[in-house]
Structure 1
Amino acid sequence: MDCDRCGADAVMHAAYSGAHLCENHFTRSVEKRVRRRVREDNLLASDATPESPETWVIGLSGGKDSVVLTEILSDTFGKDPRVELVALSIHEGIEGYRDESLAASEELTEALDIQHTVVGYEEEFGVRMDDVVEDDPENMAPCAYCGVFRRDLLESYAEELGADKLLTGHNLDDEAQTALMNVLEGDIKQVAKHFDASIGGFDDREETEAFVPRAKPLRDVPEKEVALYAHLKDLPAHITECPHASEAYRGEIQELLLKLEENHPGTRHSIMSGYEELAALAADAYGGEDGQALRECTECGSTTSADVCRKCRLLASMEAV
């Protein structure tokens, strides 16, 4: 097929829009959607200046999503004196997996001349995910442990790096899966939390000093298009699934959404369109933190709604094994 816009050979057909795009128009389309999301979410504060720039910390795993996000943000804001980009990578301690993705992250940040900070579970918590999976004191999926530890380090180091915003590479598929899971589980409080993880713009929410505000500029772009962009741009992305990944329920939701999207193109976009409105209402109703007062964890001092945060409880259970 030929590109709808210039007649060159098409590299992608988007069934949800009917568009056939060549390499040039496809990559420009991805970049346009990310930049539009940055603009519509009011990501760049109106009072940011060269004298008082904003610091955006990007969670860079080395996978396709975070690599593509970093590349586009660098191309867009790399020379903008109002923005300072900083990459933050987490080493979970997974043999034969994370080292390769960190190498990809280092190659990218060196090429883009972006500050790159790497922190690890072993250095920070005294544990490695390989050991966590082997011991499994809480009888949980590996992703449950890893998610808690990763969020803690992203938030604490984003704050340490002076971040005004914490950006992650969640794509359209990621967000639609999470949205559908929250709805099917009937978890409206989690819907409210999801909204606070930046589904809406920064101008219409109360600011809090408890957490660094988060943003997901890639959330309008389907996963396959992110992968194609990384391939066409020859970006150093490590595209391999984590050997401990075992989120069975999310896998079922993923398969369901892929089937629905195949039979009814545009399903993911429709889900997110309605979900964002629902999430905004839920966030207003629950105050973003389940209406619970926030306090400092008695063990580590991090912000939590309980006396001891989830991370410290998990670490304690591992020490007891």
Structure 2
Amino acid sequence: MECDKCGDHAVLHAAYSGLHLCEDHLCRTVEKRLRRRVREDGLVPDDATPEDPDTWVIGLSGGKDSVVLTSILHDVFERDPRIELVALSIHEGIEGYRDKSLEACEELTEDLGIRHEVVSYAEEFDVRMDDVVEKDPEGMAACAYCGVFRRDVLSRYAEELGADKLLTGHNLDDEAETALMNFFEGDVEQMAQHFDASLGPFETGSDGDAPTERTREKQEHHVPRAKPLRDVPEKEIALYARFRDLPAHITECPHAEEAYRGEVQQLMLGLEENHPGTRHSIMAGYEKLAALAADAYGGDDADAEFGECDSCGAPTARDLCRKCNLLDALEAV
């Protein structure tokens, strides 16, 4: 099997495009799609300068997605003084898992010369995920607890680090699964929040090219997120990490257990196998629906729902934020 671009040995057949790609051209396409997403989402603001750069905090877990994201962003913006990159890693307290992935984070950031900050659930909440799983006061999957704690830490520390944007390594598979879950649950308001929090383009485009579609509403209560790898399938990111010899820790969390997402994932993978391009079609349609939902549910009305948590002061629409509710439940066990 030969590469359709150069005739060298192909390492991937991308069924959704019909292309056979060699190692070099596969890596080039991953990099190209990330750069295009950065440009189309307007991540580099017109007013960013070397004296006042745009600060991007990257959620770096040590897994393949965040490692590839960090590496490519460094390569693209290393010589651009308008952008400052900071890596933020979280130690959840999972024996035999997170320590190894943090070693990958440290190796990568040291090689690239990127500032690297590490925080832990133990320091922030006086809990470890191993203990949370054992207590389980809410009868939930471990990922449900961890997701709440992780979002809180990422948001708070992104603010403390002066982030203009918080970047995560979500890939095409991740986003298509989330889109299907929101659609199946009929959660239109969540679609609107998804658009304004991380999917919609920013108001001004990169290098003066303003996006033509609807832009996301500015959120006062959270650092805006972006997902530059959301056009790239998970398999291609894994291959990129391997071919570029990046220090990614590719091992599933021992507590990973998201039954509903797992069902949706299997459904989507089956559809993709039988109908190549399904993931791309899901996201193309979902982003249009999410933009319409944001018109109906987003903006000032959405911001008006947010107050401050009575316990920690975090933005929330309730008296107590979800994190504090879970911490109270754990303390009561």
Q: Name the TM-score class by shorter chain.
A: over 0.9
Post-superposition Cα deviations, 1:144-164, rounded to whole Å, max 9, x if no partner, equal 100000000000000000000
Measured after TM superposition, the shift of residue 167 of structure 1 is 0.1
| SS of match in other structure, 1:21 | strand
Alpha-carbon distance in structure 1 between the residues aligned to 2:326 and 2:304? 21
Measured after TM superposition, the shift of residue 20 of structure 1 is 0.7
Measured after TM superposition, the shift of residue 199 of structure 1 is 1.1
Corresponding position of 2:273: 262
1:294 to 266, 284, 306: 306
Measured after TM superposition, the shift of residue 24 of structure 1 is 1.1
Alpha-carbon distance in structure 2 between the residues aligned to 1:86 and 1:201? 22
For 1:144-163, list aligned pairs within 5 A: 144-163=144-163
Post-superposition Cα deviations, 1:275-311, rounded to whole Å, max 9, x if no partner, equal 0000011112111675752111111111111111110
Structure 1: segments with no counterpart, 5+ residues = none
The CA RMSD measured in Å over matched residues stands at 1.0
| SS of match in other structure, 2:311 | coil
Corresponding position of 2:200: 200
Corresponding position of 1:56: 56
Q: What amino acid maps onto 2:326 in structure 1?
A: L
Alpha-carbon distance in structure 1 between the residues aligned to 2:304 and 2:272? 38
Alpha-carbon distance in structure 2 between the residues aligned to 1:259 and 1:207? 37
Corresponding position of 1:305: 317
1:249 to 257, 260, 285: 260
Structure 2: segments with no counterpart, 5+ residues = 204-214
Measured after TM superposition, the shift of residue 125 of structure 1 is 0.2
Measured after TM superposition, the shift of residue 208 of structure 1 is 2.4
| SS of match in other structure, 2:166 | strand
| SS of match in other structure, 1:275 | helix
Measured after TM superposition, the shift of residue 250 of structure 1 is 0.6
TM-score normalised by L of structure 1: 0.98
Alpha-carbon distance in structure 1 between the residues aligned to 2:121 and 2:159? 17
Q: What amino acid maps onto 1:165 in structure 2?
A: K
| SS of match in other structure, 2:4 | coil
Runs of 4+ in 1 over 3 A off after TM superposition: 288-292
TM-score normalised by L of structure 2: 0.95
Alpha-carbon distance in structure 1 between the residues aligned to 2:289 and 2:217? 18
Matched length: 321
For 1:199-218, list aligned pairs within 5 A: 199-203=199-203, 204-218=215-229
Measured after TM superposition, the shift of residue 96 of structure 1 is 0.4
| SS of match in other structure, 2:260 | helix
| SS of match in other structure, 2:86 | strand
Corresponding position of 1:22: 22
Alpha-carbon distance in structure 2 between the residues aligned to 1:174 and 1:205? 20
Alpha-carbon distance in structure 2 between the residues aligned to 1:185 and 1:198? 20
Residues 189 and 290 in structure 1, CA contact (< 8 A), matched pair in contact too: no
Corresponding position of 2:211: none
Measured after TM superposition, the shift of residue 205 of structure 1 is 2.6
Q: Percent identity?
A: 74
Corresponding position of 2:113: 113
| SS of match in other structure, 1:197 | helix
Alpha-carbon distance in structure 2 between the residues aligned to 1:252 and 1:279? 23
